[in-house]
Structure 1
């Protein structure tokens, strides 16, 4: 009896132990599930936080772009009023072969016939009359003819100085009132006439000038005559921080986008109060203060006189562009700068890129040439557009307009007879091929009936 009870009691304990183990396993599963769920919640919360941050940043970006003009109000902007007939008439002179200036001169070393070819080609395509002024080898200038303090200049800089002075003398010897001076490696917008016509309308409403326009200016000078130098092709620039109130901003449909604009000029525009969506939309006219390079600038007759006085007659103390900057900041000469500039350097890399460094010994490193050339701060590069305008596919055009004839010596009737013979021969060939196919099938059936 006791053994039976002991056996039952032992079975009861085993049953309790089994249930306990099952409860323990179930509890373990619950704990594991809770831990996994906690990790999942953590992952979900981290992911949600990340996406919330991304959405918040996107929202801030959209808000900034949308309200950038309100956050950064523009300084003086030309009122969008219709130009008067007299303003339009004067500005339309920019459509002529000198862009409304008395003349356009370009400087080029005599041995750079490749660059001279390019400039003359651009002039022919875009209706611009360029006058060639030879560059000067600084080493060829005799000692007595060199300006005072010339020893600060390298031979290349001395030659550059002499060529620009020759351009200023060319203006004084002519009957022009203004002259646009360019170097031989420039590029410009394909709509250059429209770009300068718009600039003229802005210059005529220029609030920066200190004297009112004369009757003579209003009739004959599209850009006025109250300046000595007008920078339209500087490499870099900086404005007078004490007179940012003199900035004149205007909208230009041929303005390069922010992406197409050289980073330095983006920074320059921002320093002048142009931000957000207005970048890639607005140009700025400001009193010239620190324009580097002499790639493209206009001068007036009085400006040429002052430049020759201060950079030749009285001597020179630095490279010509640096010395002009000094005169601008000293207030000895007066000028304006256009940002972004209307002319840019055309880059081909290698030894062909610059004459200021002299000819390289290794002439195999000449770069990739004009085919792969490039410029910045241009919406539509005139050089690239020129290649497209002159592109020709003559034989494709001929084939499209004038269908080919089998034999130009045959008459239309003879061609028709030949086409008919070809058609009949084609039909006969098809019939022969069909008969031969049927014959082969018949022979195959006979061979199969004979057992192979």
Structure 2
């Protein structure tokens, strides 16, 4: 009987140890899943579900530079074929009698099709980049910090913008690049759209009856408070067009600069010719 009792005791102890190991493993697994490291945005997509880069196939000059920038940051992106001003699809989506230039019409439809793709693919949020941008060297760290302050519900996040005024601050940050409520962001070279934002924008804009260029219409929607929008100041992604003419707008002298340009770091531009320097 003593031998049987001893064996039962061993079995009981082993059983308790197995339960304890199981509980510890479960708690460790939960801790890992809920630890700060896990909620920090993925470096390969700057924290977003997906990254689209709007690109015209025949602009090999821009593709070459974008590939080098994306490789430097080790980013996963999908090149989204932009609508060309020569594309016959414009006749389907736009009105030839529109006050917009043919380039602006093509840009409008390109972004409209991306909003549709966000919904079709089921992305929770997507970063949209045009193929003529430059990044702050520490863009990954900046976006990780922004995500700590970004409210749960948002429709658009303007990482790059033009003519934007500084709105009410949101959260706090140790970085110079801080989050604010959007006021009047224009330009579409670097902005993110949530799934809810894509649904709203598709209902609120119409390439057949445009009020103005797509960035102007989005800024009007933001001003009307029909979508929830935030902007980053100073912007960590800017548009670079000095040596690469735009397919959409006329040349402008309204330029922006970065604190630490990645294009400059990689030798893709002459730092003496950099805007603002």
TM over 0.5: yes
| Residue matched to 1:134 | 81
Number of corresponding residues: 233
CA distance in 2, matches of 1:124, 1:189: 15
Deviations 1:375-427 (A, max 9, x none): 84422211222349xxxxxxxxxxxxxxxxxxxxxxxxxxxxxxxxxxxxxxx
Change (3 A) 1:196 1:142: closer
Aligned residue runs from structure 1 range 120-199, under 5 A:
120-141=67-88, 145-147=92-94, 151-199=98-146
| Residue matched to 1:335 | 229
| Residue matched to 1:354 | 246
Change (3 A) 1:291 1:197: same
CA distance in 1, matches of 2:249, 2:178: 32
Aligned residue runs from structure 1 range 6-155, under 5 A:
86=34, 88-95=36-43, 97-141=44-88, 145-147=92-94, 151-155=98-102
| 1:384 pairs with 2:264 | yes
| Residue matched to 1:233 | 160
Segments of structure 1 that go 5 or more residues without pairing to the other structure are 1-84, 207-223, 256-282, 361-374, 389-452
Q: Identify the match of residue 292 of structure 1 among 186, 191, 195.
A: 186
Structure having the higher strand fraction is 2
Contact conserved, 2:48 with 2:125, CA < 8 A, in 1?
yes
CA distance in 1, matches of 2:96, 2:35: 46
How far 1:250 moved relative to its partner? 3.5
Partner SS for 1:235: coil
How far 1:348 moved relative to its partner? 3.0
| Residue matched to 1:318 | 212
Larger-Rg structure: 1
Partner SS for 2:127: strand
CA distance in 1, matches of 2:190, 2:39: 20
| Residue matched to 1:247 | 169
How far 1:181 moved relative to its partner? 0.1
CA distance in 1, matches of 2:173, 2:154: 22
How far 1:180 moved relative to its partner? 0.1
Partner SS for 2:51: strand
How far 1:147 moved relative to its partner? 4.2
Cα-Cα RMSD: 2.7
Partner SS for 2:210: coil
Indicate the structure whose relative CO is greater, using CA pairs within 8 Å and at least 6 residues apart.
2
| Over 6 Å off, 4+ runs | none
Segments of structure 2 that go 5 or more residues without pairing to the other structure are 1-32, 269-277
Deviations 1:124-177 (A, max 9, x none): 121111211112123534576234796121101000011111221221121321
Contact conserved, 1:91 with 1:198, CA < 8 A, in 2?
no
State the TM-score, normalized to the length of structure 1.
0.47
Contact conserved, 1:107 with 1:184, CA < 8 A, in 2?
yes
State the TM-score, normalized to the length of structure 2.
0.75
